[in-house]
Amino acid sequence: MAFKERVFSGVQPTGNLHLGNYLGAIVKFVALQDTYDCIYCVVDMHAITVWQDPAELPKTTREVTAAFLACGIDPKKHIIFNQSQVSGHAELAWVFNCVARLGWLNRMTQFKEKAGKDRENASIGLYAYPSLMAADILLYRATHVPVGEDQKQHLELARDIAQKFNNDFAQSIHAHGFGDAFFPLPEPLIQGPATRVMSLRDGQKKMSKSDPSDYSRINLTDDADAIAQKIRKAKTDPEPLPSEEKGLETRPEADNLVGIFAALANKSRADVLKEFGGAQFSTFKASLVDLAVAKLGPIGADMKRLVQDPGYIDQVLADGSDRAHEIADKTMNAVKDIVGFVRKS
């Protein structure tokens, strides 16, 4: 069965948005608007899988919304909203908790990393995170999901959940007039030179909002001085840059900076190395600072302007939630019928 093509993705309001979120996710969100109907969600319910200060959460939720707007997502043509305003996410997640298997969730590396050594003390929400993420996507029966490389495993799980739901309820799906499959198997869109931006301090660790060191990341709201300082201090090795991509294979920090340059300049790594092969890091970093400031400066400025008007941001989220609700309600009514829940019609 052919499903209507639709894009869904989300970003957690867990802190400062950084260059990894921008290059791995938000740049793609913006580009996809031309060809798809898109739904972009500030996933506040995912955020509370680890402790969030209730006084801060509204602020970070509005900041992520401001970032979406400042980067060029059109809230009229597409949908921008925050997850907790559409109850279907939690409802569908519960059904999926009963479809997904413990064995599947036990393999998730994000849980292992985030729970750390004290696993007994992690929230059940953190463990069930991928099931809620599957619900986010499938509540809109979305077919394409732009994400960074770190979310690949969760996307595969979402496909497994969709497939198992379609199989387990095949007869009921058919009986209710939905043909052979109710949910599409959503496809991850993970492309380009910066699908996994690494920490500026450690080329083995991904750049993250939750990293305690602010020098590990470039925030979208950093000013020119901060960007310059962080790039100048970024860890490198003593060799000049190679001329070929192969020369980056054993040099994670060099590979990361070249990947960032390529993504910001909309070029391939090979093109960047054609220009900078043989150059010292000091030269390369100076060019990277100029490029990063030129690209991120206007976004950061716009974000700062937008968050001054929380009334407007909240209006965008309310309007988006209303439109998301309409799609979500249709899916939830169908899911309830398929599963066999009695409801008023």
Residue matched to tokens 């969709």: 162
Site for ligand ATP in 21-40 (CB under 6 A): 21, 24-25
Q: Locate 188 and state its tokens.
A: 């991850």
Q: Between residues 24 and 242, which has the closer beta carbon with respect to ligand ATP?
A: 24
- For residue 278, is it left (φ>0), alpha (ψ between -120 and 50) or beta? left
3-class state of residue 80 by DSSP: strand
Give the C-alpha distances (Å, rounded to integers) separating 310 from 49, 76, 231, 316: 25, 18, 32, 10
Which range of residues in 122-130, 148-156, 160-168, 318-326 is near ligand ATP by CB under 6 A?
Answer: 148-156
Which range of residues in 16-24, 96-104, 179-187, 286-294 is near ligand ATP by CB under 6 A?
Answer: 16-24
Which segments of the chain are extended strands (E)?
6-11, 37-42, 79-82, 144-146, 187-189
Q: Is 109 exposed, middle or buried (0-12, 13-18, 19+ CB in 10 A)?
A: exposed
Cα gap 61→325, rounded to integer Å: 19
Residue nearest to ligand ATP (CB): 24
Site string for ligand ATP, 94-133 (x = CB under 6 A): ----------------------------------------
Beta carbon of residue 42, minimum distance to ligand ATP (angstroms, whole number): 9
Site for ligand ATP in 210-269 (CB under 6 A): 210
Beta carbon of residue 71, minimum distance to ligand ATP (angstroms, whole number): 13
At position 239, the amino acid (one-letter code) is E
- Which residue in the set 75, 88, 130, 148 belongs to the binding site for ligand ATP (CB under 6 A)? 148
Beta carbon of residue 29, minimum distance to ligand ATP (angstroms, whole number): 9
Is 208 a binding residue for ligand ATP by CB under 6 A? The answer is yes
Q: Between residues 313 and 332, which has the closer beta carbon with respect to ligand ATP?
A: 313
Is 11 a binding residue for ligand ATP by CB under 6 A? The answer is yes
Beta carbon of residue 20, minimum distance to ligand ATP (angstroms, whole number): 3
- Which residue in the set 6, 7, 8, 20 belongs to the binding site for ligand ATP (CB under 6 A)? 20
Spatial CB neighbours of 11, under 8 Å, sequence gap ≥ 6: 17, 21, 25, 26, 40, 41, 42, 43, 64, 67, 68
Active site amino acids:
114, 206, 209
At position 247, the amino acid (one-letter code) is G
DSSP symbol at 242: P
Beta carbon of residue 145, minimum distance to ligand ATP (angstroms, whole number): 8
At position 152, the amino acid (one-letter code) is K
Is 61 a binding residue for ligand ATP by CB under 6 A? The answer is no
Beta carbon of residue 47, minimum distance to ligand ATP (angstroms, whole number): 7
Kindly report the three-state secondary structure assignment for every residue of 179-230.
Answer: CCCCCCCCEEECCCCCCCCECCCCCCCECCCCCCCHHHCCECCCCHHHHHHH
Site string for ligand ATP, 184-203 (x = CB under 6 A): -----------xxx------
Which range of residues in 20-28, 178-186, 230-238, 240-248 is near ligand ATP by CB under 6 A?
Answer: 20-28
The string over 35-64, giving b where at least 16 C-beta atoms fall within 10 Å of a residue's C-beta and e elsewhere, is ebbbbbbbbbbbbbbbebeeeebeebbbbb
Which range of residues in 17-25, 98-106, 218-226, 278-286 is near ligand ATP by CB under 6 A?
Answer: 17-25
Which range of residues in 9-17, 67-75, 124-132, 310-318 is near ligand ATP by CB under 6 A?
Answer: 9-17
Cα gap 32→71, rounded to integer Å: 13
- Residues binding ligand ATP (CB under 6 A): 11-12, 14, 20-21, 24-25, 147-148, 150-151, 195-197, 206-210
